[in-house]
A = this chain, B = another copy of it.
Amino acid sequence: MPDPIASAVQQLKRLPGIGEKTATRLVYWMLNAQPGTAHAIAEALLGLEDGIHPCSQCCNLTSSDPCALCADPRRQHDTVCVVEHPQDILAFERSGEYRGRYHVLHGAIAPLDGIGPDQLRIRELLARLGGVSEVILATDPDVEGDATALYLGRLLQPLGVRVTRLAHGISVGTEIEYADAVSLARALQNRREL
C-alpha cells in the first residue's frame, strides 16, 4: 500500500466503528471519486477543530458565543434542561416539545473512569440558576446518568429550584411482547390514572 493511502487508512481507523476494511474501502472510494472530494472532506474536518468551542453560558458546542440557543430571545429563561452531551440537544430539538434552555455537562459521573462532579460542567450550571424555576435532569437512563441525576438533585433541591427527571417507560411504538424488562418495570412503577 503506498504511504499516503496507508496513512489515510491508519487515520480513518481511529474513528469509532471503522476498522481496517471499512477505512480501506473509504480511502479507495475517495481516490475514485470526483477530484476535490477528499479535499472538501478534509477542509470540513479542519474547520471543525478551529471553529468550535463551548458556549460560555450553557457549555454546548458552538461556533458563536453565546450559542444560537442561548441567544434566542424566544426560548424560555426559567427552565433549564441538563443533558450529558451536545448531541442530546439535537434529539430534544427534533422532538419539538421543549422551548426552554439547555445545559451540557459533557459527561456523567463515572468513578471507574475517574470522572467525578468536578470534571463536569456543574459549577457553570450553579452560576446560571438566577431566574430559573425548573431544572429538568435529562441524563441518560443508565447507572452513570442516574447517579449524576441523583447527585444534581441533592445539590439543587436545597436551593429552592424545582428539579424534575425525564419519564422512563416503554417507548412509543414498542410492542409490549418485545419491550425490554427494565423499561417495562419502569413503565409499571410509573403508571398513571387514565
A interface, CB within 8 angstroms of B: 1-5, 7-8, 10-12, 14-18, 22, 24-31, 33, 35-52, 61-64, 67-68, 85-87, 90
Contact = CB atoms under 8 A, between A and B. Distances in A.
Given A4-B63, A63-B2, A41 B29 contact: no
Interface on chain A toward B: helix, strand, loop, or mixed SS?
helix
A86 B37 CA distance: 19
A20 B63 CA distance: 20
Given A2-B61, A2-B63, A12-B41, A48 B68 contact: no
Contacts of A12: 41, 44
A52 B2 contact: yes
B47 A7 contact: yes
